[in-house]
Structure 1
Amino acid sequence: MIHPRAPGTSVAVADHYDELDPIYRSLWGEHVHHGLWRSGGETPAEAVIALSDMVGERLGFRAGDRLVDIGCGYGATARRFAARGAVVSGFTLSQAQVDAAPPAANVSLACRDWLDNRLPDAGFDGAYAIESSEHMVDKPRFFAEARRVLRPGAPLVVCAWLACDRPTRWQVDHLLEPICYEGGLPSMGNAAEYRAMAEAAGFATISHVDVSAAVARTWTICAARFVRAMLADRATRATVLRARNRRFALSLPRLIWAYRTGAMRYGVFTFR
Structure 2
Amino acid sequence: MATNHDGASAPQDIEKYSVPEAEPFVSFQALKDRIRHHYEVASDYYYSLWGEHIHHGYWITPNDSKEKAQIQLIDLILERSKFKAGSKVLDVGCGIGGTSRFLAKNHACHVTGVTISGRQVELAKKLTLEASKEEESPVSGSLRLGEGSVQFIELDAEKMGEYFTTGEKAETFDCVWISEAMSHLPDKQLFFDNAAKLLKPGGKLMVADWFKDVGLTETQFKADIAPIEDGMLLPPLCTQIEYVEKAKKAGLQVFSEPFDISKQVSKTWDLSWGLIQSPALWAFAVSQGRDGLAFFQSFRAMRRGYANGSFRYAVMVFNK
Common topology (TM > 0.5): yes
Q: Report the AA paired with residue 248 of structure 1.
A: F
Larger relative CO (CA 8 A, sep 6+): 1 or 2? 1
Alignment of 1:230-241 (within 5 A): 230=279, 234=280, 236-241=281-286
TM-score by length of 1: 0.92
Aligned length: 264
Which ranges of structure 1 fall in alignment gaps of 5 or more residues?
none
Correspondence for 2:187 among 130, 133, 138? 138
In the other structure, the counterpart of 2:113 is 90
Residue 150 of structure 2: aligned partner: 107
Please point out which of 231, 239, 262 is paired with 1:190: 239
Structure 1 position 15, deviation (Å): 1.1
Q: What residue in structure 2 maps to residue 67 of structure 1?
A: 89
Question: Which among 75, 79, 91 is matched to residue 57 of structure 1?
Answer: 79
Q: Distance in 2 between matches of 1:22 and 1:65?
A: 30
Residue 268 in 1 paired to residue 291 in 2? no
Aligned runs of 1:1-272 on 2, under 5 Å?
A: 6=25, 7-8=27-28, 9-83=31-105, 84-101=107-124, 102-103=127-128, 104-105=143-144, 106-117=149-160, 118-120=163-165, 123-206=172-255, 207-227=257-277, 229-230=278-279, 234=280, 236-244=281-289, 245-246=291-292, 247-272=294-319
What CA RMSD, in Å, does the superposition of the two structures yield over aligned residues?
1.6
1:205 offset after TM fit, Å?
Answer: 1.4
- Structure 1 residue 167 displacement after superposition: 1.1
Q: Which amino acid aligns with 1:99?
A: E
Q: Which has the larger radius of gyration?
A: 2
Q: Hey, what's the Cα distance between the residues in 1 that align with 2:99 and 2:311? A: 24
Q: Which amino acid aligns with 1:186?
A: P
Q: How far does the alpha carbon of each residue in 1:69-91 deviate from its partner, in whole angstroms, 9 at most, with x for none? A: 01101110110100120000111
Q: What is the DSSP-based 3-state SS (H/G/I as helix, E as strand, rest coil) of the residue aligned with 1:151?
A: strand
3-state SS of the aligned residue for 1:32?
Answer: coil
The alpha-carbon deviation at position 35 of structure 1 amounts to 0.5
Q: What's the CA shift for 1:187?
A: 2.2
TM-score, structure 2 length as denominator? Answer: 0.79
Alignment-derived partner of residue 140 in structure 2: none
State the alpha-carbon separation in 2 of the partners of residues 62 and 270 from structure 1.
14
Determine the C-alpha separation between the residues in 2 that align with 1:124 and 1:188. 27
Distance 1:132 1:138 in 2: 12
* In 2: Cα distance, 1:71 partner to 1:95 partner: 12
Q: Which runs of 4+ in 1 moved over 6 A?
A: none
- Following the alignment from structure 2 to structure 1, what is the Cα–Cα distance between the partners of residues 175 and 261? 22
Cα offset for 1:33?
A: 0.8
Q: What is the Cα deviation at residue 56 of structure 1?
A: 2.2
Q: Is the 1:135–1:187 Cα contact (8 Å) retained in structure 2?
A: no
| Counterparts of 2:156 and 2:76, CA distance in 1 | 25
